[in-house]
Homo-oligomer: A and B are copies of this chain.
């Protein structure tokens, strides 16, 4: 399965207008093409840019940032999962700390996405949460303690080791993403060497002096880590 490769997720959240979104996605797409045999690159986007990303960039996996548990029908300003599939979106985040979901809603969202063939990246805020989410059998679990988001502080070694071990034990099919406070290529390397399947970044890239270079450096650091690990 293609999604089982190591991966990097560029998640610009709501930081960027259209022009910067396209420019950085192009960089990501070129890297995704270059390293397509080794890694996957995901780019998330507010819904407003999703269609254009899907149409312009064929090597990245374009990802939504949230879906709602509604069917085609009523609902104003909500995200019907079918509409993502309809335009070619391949993945979605779920339960991000900035868009939390009830456990009932999350359970149904993972199931609905699976039915539609949409890859699920589910955020877990603690060890207990990661263990619980693993039972839903999502494609990727992102372990990121809320209190570290946007701080540039990485999770400490013991937290990473512990969540890695607990998720592997609970569900060996799920990919593990560790991404708290990633702010340099070195952080990326270290995280992969510690056993994560993937990592990613928001503010470390969009607030960098040279976002394109930082994105490139991080992805290349991931590729190097994957090679060194094997």
Q: How far is the CA of A145 from the CA of B111 in the complex (A)?
A: 16
Neighbouring B residues of A132 by C-beta, 8 Å: 103, 107, 132-133, 135-136
Whether A78 pairs with B46 at a CB distance below 8 angstroms is yes
- Nearest to A100 among chain B residues (CB) is B102
Q: Of B75, B108, B129, which contacts A14 at CB under 8 A?
A: B75
- Give every chain B residue within 8 A of A2 (Cβ-Cβ): none
* Number of identical protomers: 4
Q: Which of A35-43, A79-87, A181-189, A212-220 contacts B (4 or more CB under 8 A)?
A: A79-87
Q: How far is the CA of A133 from the CA of B107 in the complex (A)?
A: 11
Residues of chain B with a CB closer than 8 A to A50's CB: 48
Give chain B nearest CB distance to A205 CB in angstroms: 14
**B14→A70 contact, CB < 8 A:** yes
Contact of A103 among B87, B95, B170 (CB under 8 A): B95
Whether, in the assembled complex, A52 has its beta carbon less than 8 Å from a beta carbon of chain B, the answer is yes
Give the most central of A73, A87, A105, A126: most B CB within 10 Å.
Answer: A73
Q: 27 A-B residue contacts at CB 8 Å?
A: A13-B74, A14-B70, A14-B75, A14-B80, A15-B72, A16-B72, A17-B83, A17-B86, A18-B83, A48-B48, A48-B87, A49-B51, A49-B83, A66-B77, A74-B149, A75-B99, A76-B93, A76-B96, A95-B102, A100-B103, A100-B104, A104-B129, A107-B125, A108-B126, A128-B136, A132-B133, A132-B136
